[in-house]
Chain A
Amino acid sequence: MPDNRLTQTEASLNPAVTQMVNIKIDGIELQVPKGENIIESAKRAGVDIPYFCYHPRLSKGDAANCRMCLVDVFAPRRAPDGTVSLAKMPKPQASCTLPADEGMVIVTDSEAVVRDRKGVLEFLLINHPLDCPICDRGGECPLQNNAIFYGAATSRYTEEKRHFPKAYPLAENVVFDRERCIHCARCTRFTEDISGDAQLGFLKRGADMEVGTFEHTAYKSKFSGNVIELCPVGALLSRSYRFKARPWDLHSQRSVCSKCSNGCNIKIDYRLDSLQRINGRINEAVNEEWTCDKGKFGHSYVSSEARLKTPMLKTGGEWKAIDWTEALQILVGKLRDANGSVAGIGGQRCTNEDNFAFQKLFREVLKSNDIDSRVEGYLGSVNKPLYERFGYHAMGNAIAELEDMKTILVLGSQLVDEQPIIYLRVRKAYRFKGATVINAVSSVPEDSPKVGDFAQLELVYKPGTEAALLKGILSVLSAEKLASVNGFAKGYTLEKAAEETGVSAEAIQQAARLMATGKLAIIAGREVANHANHLEVVQAIGDLAEATGNAQNINLPGEDVNSQGAADMGVLPDFAPGYAPLENPGKNTAQILQAAADGSLKVLWVAGAKLLEKFPNRELAQAAFASDTFIVVNELTMTETAQAADLVLPAASFAEKEGTFTNCERRVQRIHKAFDISLEIKPDWLIFSEVATRMGGGGGSFFSARDILKAISAQVPAYAGLTAKSLGDEGVRWNYPDK
């Protein structure tokens, strides 16, 4: 496997350098780490140096090619007699690759630099079409800005410019205007350094140079959307946002992506009441500044025509739009008649506030513990797999901590699809921090970027044999005395593991040796989460982690945007908010559906769970929906599950409400309301709270999402002290009290 690790260490990307040097920029004296790029030192000093190709998260590689960042440099020179004098470097230097050194003096505003910048811009604009009025980047374009601040007013170039057809379809979501490209290599470096698929590169040379894929095949990446934001001109454009709006037409709201549990920080850019695009927002602890394509392009559902705008009632097989008064009347009537024979499923797409109100309504008003937020995978007690042994439920590590690992084992996961941002961190650990990655998986998708592309070792095992593989590794650790295995691998031999898993004995040995070398993180995915013997596999993972001294580095991240928060808020049959055990636990999802199918359940309330689409035992789910149970569903659109219900209530999407999500690493992050699509659409918590009020209140009535957050921080120890204010823009990661 070719090694794509960066060979040269870059101070900016590897801030291990601690020696400080004294430099002077435009007369400002400052101390910076030795080797830091001058452009970054200038940022510290508040001196503006224009740039195009420089990006703090990308390697310099074949870049430093735009020459926009030129500065004059004076370096100390020692004469033969020992005297030190400052000597000017004969030519201006590119500050984005110029390492800081003791005594350097930088001038960013000399006459020569000003003239050079004008010249660079004139060159860049020779072949640039300057069709700003129809360019999506116009108004937020670094080339426009630099041309206005540092460029000349006119050009001496009167010849014909380079021409290419507009809007070349580069990828499913990205179109490419080749005329506008200034060859900064940000996009190509992104695919190499960050997303790891290395699909974009430069073709041809000189003025003909263009960005492209090998042999013009389609650019297939799970992170292609980021190059749109990286491109300093309007060359790479979003297919869905193209011509939709100009930046000054848009309003922007801070939010968190609703597509997976990684919880990328995003900006929702909208116009009137319609979502136009999603851009990444910086959060160093979570997504740095990236998003995946699911998040960037997958939110068109928010403003889609298909959104429900009134409650819908099914009578005699026909759907009828009704108003809220009637809907609530019917619902409250049914709940009263049910007399406690009610159950609730869902909440993984809902905010913490929604979930808290949901469980309050069920436990305190409807007097039922039959609620669950899990639809797939393991449905037993959440404390069993990890908590009782190691003191945490899902992720032992913070996402950013993965960077510091020596070895990372990705087990049973198509990580790039399931946990895109964790994938990017693993890739970063590998590329910039020297981590070794081992990928163990039961099937390798053909033509998609994946962990296997950069893993040192790939173990492809027979489906379902994770535990055998892990035990095999443990037996090697024990046999080679690499770790004290405490009899975990009893009765297991390398040969047996190799035979059961179909992985070669050498590969298992190699894996074991790699794992015994230091800090090891284990990231388990869908194959483990949905394993028929989930507990056994997690047990084996725990054994391996414990044997290698990494008991706190096990990660079983959830997949839905708030699967973590729903569990924290006690939408579980056996735990109140904060994992406080209940005296008389209720039914879990499977048992609830069974009860409905048997006809012993009167009302089932589904809060946005896609039961018919996702529940593994489809027959049972269908039987439950076909029974006499009155099923009410909170949904955004008429999904398959909603179609099969009796009453559907239009719920607000994440863009239309306030609240908090808790991501897979337990970071509680705020979302903000951007717009209303219709005043008939309500956030889930309000629906639960209105029903609670009509049923006689109790603890279930709330006035606002903030109100609920207050109640949460009063009741849930881990959330104590969390307020809308203390969460700020970056959220707060809660920790187990005893850790």
Chain B
Amino acid sequence: MGFLRTLQNTADGAKALTTGARITMRHYMGQLLKTEPLQTVQYPEERREQFPRTRWRHVLTRYENGLEKCIGCSLCAGACPARCIYVEAAENTDEDRYSPGERYAVKYEINMLRCIFCGFCQDACPTGAIVLRKDFELADFTRKDFLYTKEMLLEGASVIPLTAVGTHKEAVK
């Protein structure tokens, strides 16, 4: 009886294999003969369009006049479940202005190794300064490089704010 069972099992296995191979071969031939559309994306030469609400790398955005939206309020840091945002604030003066109002962030850091891309920071932000955008290629070689600073996160300004002087200019890419 043992022999018959073994025979039966072998036949079942062969059947499963050929079923799978048949599907593969069908699509392979279809794509080869161009009777059906290509399924794979040739990353990194080719990239797929991201969904509109994809949450990847953060960006600190600016107003149209070039001033930073971030007011250094730390609400993002408070909302972050991974505790990976560090904000240090300081006071704007008329000579040295970064954002509208009294307060701006001198230091803004996100530890990308700890971030879980939940987007709570974007949710908490009262000015819409911090947003998660579509750039997902975040691999790097050393841990330290995952500490994203304000300079890395801040988006380039299309206009240089009239009042911006000193260190602020360096931040403008």
A interface residues with partner B (beta carbon < 8 Å):
131, 133-134, 138-139, 166-167, 242-246, 248-249
Contacts and interface: CB of A to CB of B under 8 A. Distances in A.
Interface of B: 71-75, 77-78, 87, 89-91, 101-103, 126-127
A249 B91 contact: no
Nearest to A249: B74
A243 B74 contact: no
B74 A246 contact: yes
A242 to B, nearest CB: 7
B91 A246 contact: no
A166 B103 CA distance: 11
Given A134-B103, A166-B102, A167-B102, A243 B90 contact: yes
A134 B78 contact: no
A133 B91 contact: no
A244 B72 CA distance: 10
Contact of B101 (A134, A248, A249): A134
A167 B75 CA distance: 22
Given A134-B103, A167-B102, A242 B75 contact: no
B102 A246 contact: no
B74 A245 contact: yes
A302 B69 CA distance: 34
Contacts of B78: 139, 246, 248-249
Nearest to B99: A134
Contacts of A245: 74
A666 to B, nearest CB: 42
A248 B91 contact: no
Contacts of A139: 78
A236 to B, nearest CB: 16
B145 to A, nearest CB: 21
A133 B102 contact: no
A242 B72 CA distance: 12
A243 B71 CA distance: 10
Given A166-B102, A242-B91, A133 B73 contact: yes
B77 A248 contact: yes
Nearest to B78: A248
Contacts of A244: 89
A243 B77 contact: no
Nearest to A133: B73
B71 A134 contact: yes
14 contacts: A131-B101, A133-B73, A133-B126, A133-B127, A134-B72, A134-B73, A139-B78, A243-B89, A243-B91, A243-B102, A245-B74, A246-B74, A248-B74, A249-B77
Nearest to A138: B73
A733 B101 CA distance: 51
Contacts of A133: 71, 73, 75, 126-127
Q: DSSP class of A's interface residues: helix, strand, loop or mixed?
A: loop
Nearest to B101: A134
B80 to A, nearest CB: 10
Contacts of B87: 249
Nearest to A134: B103
A252 to B, nearest CB: 16
Nearest to A246: B74
Q: Which 7 A-B pairs have the closest CB atoms?
A: A133-B73, A246-B74, A134-B103, A248-B78, A243-B89, A133-B126, A243-B103
Contacts of A246: 73-75, 77-78
A166 to B, nearest CB: 6
Nearest to A272: B86
Contacts of B75: 133, 246
A141 to B, nearest CB: 13
A669 to B, nearest CB: 32
A565 B20 CA distance: 85
A248 B87 CA distance: 12
Contacts of A134: 71-73, 89, 101-103
A439 to B, nearest CB: 42
A133 B128 CA distance: 13
A701 to B, nearest CB: 40
A167 B102 CA distance: 9
A286 to B, nearest CB: 33
Contacts of A131: 101
A134 B90 CA distance: 10
Contacts of B89: 134, 243-244
B106 to A, nearest CB: 9
Contacts of B127: 133
Contacts of B90: 243
Given A134-B102, A246-B75, A248-B78, 7 more contacts: A131-B101, A133-B126, A134-B73, A134-B103, A242-B91, A244-B89, A246-B78
A246 B88 CA distance: 9
A139 B77 CA distance: 13
Contacts of B101: 131, 134
Contacts of B103: 134, 243
Most chain B CB atoms below 10 A, which of A243, A244, A248, A249: A243
A134 B102 CA distance: 8
Contacts of B74: 245-246, 248-249
A144 to B, nearest CB: 13
Nearest to B124: A133
A242 B126 CA distance: 20
Most chain B CB atoms below 10 A, which of A133, A248, A249: A133
Nearest to B89: A243
Contacts of A138: 73
Contacts of A248: 74, 77-78
Nearest to B125: A133
Contacts of B73: 133-134, 138, 246
A26 B126 CA distance: 39
B28 to A, nearest CB: 57
A131 B73 CA distance: 10
Nearest to B73: A133
A166 B71 CA distance: 16
Most chain A CB atoms below 10 A, which of B77, B89, B91: B89
Contacts of B77: 246, 248-249
A133 B87 CA distance: 13
Nearest to B126: A133
A138 to B, nearest CB: 8
A131 B103 CA distance: 11
A249 B71 CA distance: 16
Most chain A CB atoms below 10 A, which of B87, B103, B126: B103
A296 B145 CA distance: 39
Contacts of B71: 133-134
Nearest to B103: A134
A505 to B, nearest CB: 59
Contacts of A243: 72, 89-91, 102-103
A131 B127 CA distance: 12
Nearest to A242: B91
Contacts of B91: 242-243
Nearest to B91: A243
A246 B86 CA distance: 11
A167 B91 CA distance: 11
Nearest to B87: A249
Contacts of A242: 91
A462 B116 CA distance: 73
B108 to A, nearest CB: 13
A166 B72 CA distance: 17
A139 B71 CA distance: 16
